[in-house]
Amino acid sequence: MIASGKAVVVPGTNIDTDVLYPGVYLNIDDPESMKPHLFEGIDPSLLEQLGGDTVLVVGENFGMGSSREHVPLAMKAWNVRCVIGSSFARIFYRNCINLALPAITCPQAAQAARSGSQITVDAAAGKVTVDGQEFSAVPVPPFMLEMLDRGGLVSWAQYKLSQPRS
């Protein structure tokens, strides 16, 4: 899976899902209606940089805390194509893979990227290119690569349901 877009940097370590999408809006279940509340607890002005194809650049232990899928759902709804970071919290990482949003661990690329940098990610090859400079990412395990290639867990489930029951 290859993804590319303009970098939007979300600074800081241990960015939790509460600041990424405050709990008071968890009674919204439609991704389009989640969009205005993304980043509300950290920096609502980040939304001004979203819209076109975007690669989010994040720090260590990004997405810690709640299992709320509202965060990657809202990111997808904003055309975020990929998240590259130093490391990810477990449930956030799972949610991204399940929604076919590549979450790529590549601390060097995350350090090199600036707001507006042009980023291309080749998940299968483990390569991240930031303004022409290439970095090696932590390899994405084969199962997760397949999930990304299939279009996420919804498509995966559709495929399984279409197979004759054994």
Q: What are phi and psi of 24, to 5 degrees?
A: -65, -20
Stretch 71-90 residues interacting with another protein (CB under 8 A): 72-73, 87, 89-90
Q: What are phi and psi of 115, to 5 degrees?
A: -55, 125
Window contacting another protein (CB under 8 A); options: 45-53, 65-73, 75-83, 126-134: 65-73
Q: What are phi and psi of 162, to 5 degrees?
A: -80, -15
Q: Give me the least distance between CB of 117 and another protein, in Å please.
A: 25
Q: For residue 154, what is the enclosing H or E element? A: helix 153-162
Q: What are phi and psi of 123, to 5 degrees?
A: -65, -45
Residue from 124, 125, 138, 157 binding another protein (CB under 8 A): 157
User: Residues interacting with another protein, by CB under 8 A?
Assistant: 14, 16, 18-19, 22-24, 26-29, 41, 60-61, 64-70, 72-73, 87, 89-91, 94-95, 98-99, 141, 143-144, 147, 152-154, 156-158, 160-161
